[in-house]
Amino acid sequence: MENWISEKNGQSLSLREVPVLRFAELREDIVEKCRHGMRIAGFFGHREEKTLRLFIVLASDAESTLLVSSAVFSEDEKSYESLTPELPQFSMFEREFYESYGIEPLGHPWLKSVRFPHDGAIKKNEADYPFFKVGGEGIHEVGVGPVHAGVIEPGHFRFMCDGEKVIHLEIHLGYQHRGIEKLMTFPGAISGKSVLAESIAGDSVIANMMAFCAIAESGSEGTPPLRAVVIRTIAMEMERAAIHIGNLAALAGDIGYLTANAFFGATRTYVINLLLAFSGSRFGRGLIRPGGIVYDIDPEIRKAVISSLKMVKDRVILMGEQMFDFPGVLSRFQRTGVVDAATAHKIGMVGLAARASGLKTDVRSDHPSGLYRFSPLHRLSMETGDVFARAFLRYLEIKQSLDFVLEQLEELSDEGSIMKSPAPLKADSFIMSLVEGVRGEIAHFCITDSDGNISRYKIKDPSFNNWPGLAYAVRNEGISDFPLCNKSFDLSYCGFDL
């Protein structure tokens, strides 16, 4: 039997097809594959009666395939040899697997809970996990959160500082944990879980719905109506543009550049109000449902959206050109919070933050699905890996997304079918769905039982890969630059905590 089975993004596999091995048999293979360009996309357990099965999904970006395998742990097996010392990108995944099922990765350098889940096997609380300590004269600790000085989601940041210089940052999350994965397995058809999927991350509603719907529609032959696919993708790129514009406003606010803060803030409002104009929600809630979309873009709205988005694009360029040419901005952005390409690759960063460090990863190009297969987007990336790169790349992506949306809207016909009820999920299946959200790769995995009910639903937000990147970026920076570095990554707490 082969060690792996290969499949494309958005496809379902029969559970029986997924190889079942011992972890020791797979370990060398994983290390070998990851050293030759593959990366981790999924690593999670699923309890099957008496045994525990660990599913491992490796992404081969060069070949646009996903390799799947699984390792079983019998009742008395409580450990395995950790992959993290050789492949740091596995660190968070191994910690998550440990806290959920109690299987210890031996040799993991920092085995802590990642989100203190309510249904985890390891019943420990925060006090059981001391923070990493740095010794020496003049070293002091700064603790921030979980309640922050603004309207921000909760998280705790523990800095070890030498004067104002950050030596080490430890990020402690889990406060937003509300049990989404468990709720996904509650009785009921998958279509009834749509609002739950919309509530994984409130600023990535469309992206998570794209991933969720690929799973919910996997039982059907063919795809949803073309018009629905196009409008979904239009909404996806509008979401990307809106959140990026909002982030540029926040970055400007953090350095006291209030002109851009106000200007981009108002510009974001135009974009989300356009989403409201056809979906009834400023964040596109209720727009996408398994099988297609619920609200159409009629010719009148189409015209209004086109003219407004052109205005938005002009505004973005007007302010962007000024902002990225302004010495006061550049002096704060450039060479601040640097993550070099080698580090980004090693710790397994994804999405915009990885591209800002020179990696070429983008699910839209690497594992395209839906409209991205027919209308590919040019890969954008920067080299410097600093706050400037992450900010400027956002600016470039906003323009790209707006151009994409305008092009699609110009070509959009006046009518067509927008909904085709999907067939139920296939029984005993393993379904994978990857989407490039605002921050990067959103991965949803679903396992069904013999009746076609969901028995496991795994969500991986790009923030899961990228929080360690932020911790790395602030090393040796002044602690006062932390908010700036944090905003430049713009990571999600709720998406991480689930």
144 part of the interface to another protein, by CB under 8 A: no
Judge whether 70 and 53 are in contact, CB under 8 Å: yes
DSSP state of 424: P
Judge whether 443 and 211 are in contact, CB under 8 Å: yes
Which of these, 460, 457, 441, lies nearest to 449 by C-alpha position? 457
User: Closest CB to another protein among 293 and 338?
Assistant: 293
466 part of the interface to another protein, by CB under 8 A: no
Which of these, 48, 98, 108, 36, lies nearest to 72 by C-alpha position? 48
Judge whether 437 and 491 are in contact, CB under 8 Å: no
Judge whether 244 and 285 are in contact, CB under 8 Å: no
73 part of the interface to another protein, by CB under 8 A: no
Contact code string over 187-226 relative to another protein, x by CB under 8 A: -----xxxxx-xxxxxx-x---------------------
Least distance in angstroms from the C-beta of 410 to another protein: 22
Least distance in angstroms from the C-beta of 81 to another protein: 31
455 part of the interface to another protein, by CB under 8 A: no
User: Closest CB to another protein among 336 and 463?
Assistant: 463
Q: Which stretch binds another protein (CB under 8 A): 54-62, 177-185, 347-355, 395-403?
A: 177-185
289 part of the interface to another protein, by CB under 8 A: yes
Cα–Cα distance measured from residue 272 to residue 280, given in angstroms and rounded to the nearest whole number:
10
User: Closest CB to another protein among 5 and 294?
Assistant: 294
158 part of the interface to another protein, by CB under 8 A: no
List the one residue from 262, 306, 380, 479 that touches another protein (CB under 8 A). 262
Cα–Cα distance measured from residue 273 to residue 276, given in angstroms and rounded to the nearest whole number:
5
179 part of the interface to another protein, by CB under 8 A: yes
305 part of the interface to another protein, by CB under 8 A: no
Cα–Cα distance measured from residue 45 to residue 117, given in angstroms and rounded to the nearest whole number:
14
Cα–Cα distance measured from residue 203 to residue 90, given in angstroms and rounded to the nearest whole number:
26
Q: What 3 state SS string does 30-56 have? A: HHHHHHCCCEEEEEEEEEECCEEEEEE
Q: What 3 state SS string does 203-243 have? A: CCHHHHHHHHHHHHCCCCCCCCCHHHHHHHHHHHHHHHHHH
Judge whether 237 and 404 are in contact, CB under 8 Å: yes
Cα–Cα distance measured from residue 45 to residue 320, given in angstroms and rounded to the nearest whole number:
45
List the one residue from 23, 257, 263, 457 that touches another protein (CB under 8 A). 263
Cα–Cα distance measured from residue 439 to residue 462, given in angstroms and rounded to the nearest whole number:
6
Site for another protein in 314-333 (CB under 8 A): 314-315, 318-319, 321-322
Q: How far is CA 22 from CA 19, 55, 68, in A?
A: 10, 11, 14
List the one residue from 24, 62, 106, 183 that touches another protein (CB under 8 A). 183
Q: Which stretch binds another protein (CB under 8 A): 117-125, 228-236, 337-345, 353-361?
A: 117-125
Which residues touch 265 (CB under 8 Å, ≥6 apart)?
246, 249
User: Closest CB to another protein among 73 and 464?
Assistant: 464
Contact code string over 394-433 relative to another protein, x by CB under 8 A: ----------------------------------------
Q: Which stretch binds another protein (CB under 8 A): 141-149, 345-353, 396-404, 438-446?
A: 141-149
147 part of the interface to another protein, by CB under 8 A: yes
Q: Is 283 left (phi over 0), alpha (psi -120 to 50) or beta?
A: alpha
Least distance in angstroms from the C-beta of 135 to another protein: 29
176 part of the interface to another protein, by CB under 8 A: yes
127 part of the interface to another protein, by CB under 8 A: no
281 part of the interface to another protein, by CB under 8 A: yes
297 part of the interface to another protein, by CB under 8 A: no
273 part of the interface to another protein, by CB under 8 A: yes
Cα–Cα distance measured from residue 433 to residue 13, given in angstroms and rounded to the nearest whole number:
12
Cα–Cα distance measured from residue 429 to residue 55, given in angstroms and rounded to the nearest whole number:
13
Q: Which stretch binds another protein (CB under 8 A): 8-16, 127-135, 175-183, 342-350?
A: 175-183
Residue ranges binding another protein (CB under 8 A):
115-119, 146-147, 149-154, 174-180, 182-183, 186, 192-196, 198-203, 205, 246, 259, 262-263, 265-266, 269, 273, 276-283, 285-286, 289, 294-295, 314-315, 318-319, 321-322, 492-494, 497
